[in-house]
A and B are shown apart, each in its own frame.
Chain A
Amino acid sequence: MASLRLEGLTKRFGNVVAVNGLSLAVDDGGFIALLGPSGCGKTTTLLMIAGIYRPTAGKIYFDDVLMNDVAPKDRYVGLVFQSYALYPHMTVFQNIAFPLRLAKRSREEIERKVKEVAALTKIEKLLARRPGQLSGGQQQRVALCRALVKEPEILLLDEPLSNLDARLRIETRAEIKRLQRELGITTILVTHDQVEAMTMAERIAVMHDGVLQQYDPPGVLYDRPKNLFVASFIGDPPMNLVPVRVLEQGGRLILSADGFQFSLGEELREGLSPLVGQEVVLGLRPEDLLLSREERPEGIPGEVFLTEPLGGGILVHFAFGEVKLRVLAPREQPVEVGDRLWIVPQGEKVHVFGPDGRSLREADAAA
């Protein structure tokens, strides 16, 4: 196993900057996710770590050894491609055995290792088949086996679950996590699915347009998004983001938009005071808002204009002129279209993003 460190990693394809100055470190045995929308440079990053692409700039270290000029075959990484890339002309056994054959291992050792790793992912019965005769889930396991069989220093997974159906995805999620923990392999998971990243990884690197936005444990990403992009990308249903103007009224700071007013507590005062008169964005997670039938001084009065039952709860929509707010209410709470309710934010869970899109929370500003 190895630790991994990227320093200022950059990759250009002609005019396109696919990855731009990416720096991050992964501990030996750690499990991180690269999370971001399609085209943000995740696969390119993996392929640079694997040695397929040569970085335009920046450095890649395994265990503090510079790897930039090391050939892929000497990096000892296991890579599961998004397409799985199982060799169609080889059986499952031959596919998994391929890295060992190239490493000139003995026939007995190959046989033993392939069986071992196949048992780990429960595909022993498929060894004689060809990839074309396997389901998506089975192909995914074979690809994982081929990456694991050589006991890699680092395991790279490129959207390993994206081709599976919803139920299988949830099972496989848990299984990969269990395997990673059992084997203790340093692992990088690439995904565009925040739930996958949040449930599996210890730390998540959120990327956007090739640039690292935030690199934190899932809880921190959720509680203290550093900027608007992370705030809007993490969370389901997504955070309410309301463009507002900062006003001062009788010594209090007020965030105001057409038909909508929100008065702030003390905690963000310091960051907001210099911004009086300017536009900022107020961020409120639907699940951090309570609904009340009684008047509440810190609440916002509003009229329900749509409800969406989500199974576990109800997504209640409010409209204040141009401003729309979604609130996730518990299922037991009876809410009807047309009800007039008070929306009550939880003080410590209010996010405000300055004109540059950065979070104004003191804790984040300090970080």
Chain B
Amino acid sequence: MQGFLFLSPGLLLILAFFIIPAVVTAVMGFTSLDYRFKWDFVGLGNYYRMVRDYLIPRILVNTLVYTFGTLGIFNVTFGLILALLTTSVGERAGLFFRALWLLPRFTPPVVYAAIWLWILSPTKNGLLNGLRAAVGLSPVAWISQHPWGVIIITNGIIGASMGMLVFASAIKAIPRDYLWAARVDGASWFQEVRHIILPLIRWPLMFITAYQTLSLLTSYEYILLITQGGPFHASEVWSLYAYNLAFSSYSGTYPFGYAAALATVLVVIGAVASVIYWRIFKFREMMAPPRIETV
């Protein structure tokens, strides 16, 4: 009983900020709540609507491409490459480059998005088109022609820095003797990475993969700021769709109930993904004390 007393501030916070919103969202998903704010329960009505929504397949594909594209190319792979490179060069140069990659994290999202809008601008004043013009090429409408590429790159550039930081500190924590032993044993740099470094940072790799999957599933602010999900839903992901339905006027009626149902599905997807990762990566093993066998 006393234990609960000590835990109660934490439990209250969890209740207030995680459980209650989730429950309210789930409940709201069973209503036809809209701009009139009437809690009329409609049973599974919103879920029928979802199944019939012709945009849903497209948004589902977008979400998968965006999440796993950003994750696979940037948040894990590129983060890992940055970590390997910045830990292979000298201590100070490495620190400098890591700090450089962290800059977008300190930049307000709106500023970060504005910079990308300038880089990708379809006019000849955009950075990329300016470069093209310099070599005599005509401007390209980057965002409308390559919406997937744009959302993956803009999110990846900023997202890679977390993997980079976690991986770099994991790599630096590897005792130097292992790496030296591998070198004496005849390993090249690539073999050192493949046979020693990667196996030894297995847990951070898995952690970042799982964590970033969940955070990419629910994040949409850069997409909102840079492509608004367009052109015509081409870069619209699940969470952005729910947001747009609920808060932008394009459906006209502010269907909070339907948006809440969409959000609930996202929560379920996230929960399922967590369980899958838990299973595959055996998080339990990671949390458990190391096995000790006496000789």
Residue among B182, B196, B199, B290 having the largest count of chain A Cβ atoms under 10 Å: B182
Q: Is B186 an interface residue (CB 8 A)?
A: yes
Contacts of A47 in B (CB 8 A): 180
Q: A52-B184, A73-B183, A98-B185 are in contact. Are A135 and B295 (CB under 8 A)?
A: yes
Q: A81-B177, A89-B200, A138-B295 are in contact. Are A98 and B195 (CB under 8 A)?
A: yes
- The reply to whether B183 and A72 contact each other, CB–CB distance below 8 Å, is yes
Residues of chain B from 151 to 192 with CB closer than 8 A to chain A in the complex: 175, 177-178, 180-188, 191
Minimal beta-carbon separation of A69 from chain B (angstroms): 15
Size of interface on B: residues with Cβ below 8 Å to A? 22
Minimal beta-carbon separation of A152 from chain B (angstroms): 9
- The reply to whether A85 and B183 contact each other, CB–CB distance below 8 Å, is no
Chain B interface, DSSP helix/strand/loop, else mixed = helix
Q: A133-B293, A134-B295, A135-B295 are in contact. Are A73 and B187 (CB under 8 A)?
A: yes
Minimal beta-carbon separation of B195 from chain A (angstroms): 7
Q: A47-B180, A83-B177, A85-B175 are in contact. Are A146 and B295 (CB under 8 A)?
A: no
Partner of B180, one of A52, A78, A99: A52
Could you say which interface size class chain A belongs to? 20 to 34
Partner of A85, one of B177, B199, B200: B177
Q: Is A132 an interface residue (CB 8 A)?
A: yes
Q: Is A79 an interface residue (CB 8 A)?
A: yes
Q: A87-B178, A89-B200 are in contact. Are A50 and B191 (CB under 8 A)?
A: no
Complex Cα distance A98/B186, Å? 9
Residues of chain A from 193 to 232 with CB closer than 8 A to chain B in the complex: none
Contacts of A134 in B (CB 8 A): 295
Q: A132-B290, A134-B295, A135-B295 are in contact. Are A102 and B183 (CB under 8 A)?
A: no
Lowest 7 CB-CB distances: which A-B pairs, in order?
Answer: A85-B177, A85-B181, A73-B186, A102-B186, A99-B185, A89-B199, A72-B183
Q: Give 14 A-B pairs besides A77-B184, A133-B295, A150-B185 with Cβ atoms closer than 8 angstroms.
A: A72-B183, A72-B184, A73-B184, A73-B188, A79-B180, A81-B177, A81-B180, A83-B175, A85-B177, A85-B180, A87-B181, A89-B199, A99-B186, A150-B186
Q: Which residues of A contact B (CB under 8 A)?
A: 47, 50-52, 72-73, 75, 77-79, 81, 83, 85, 87-89, 98-99, 102-103, 132-135, 138, 146, 150
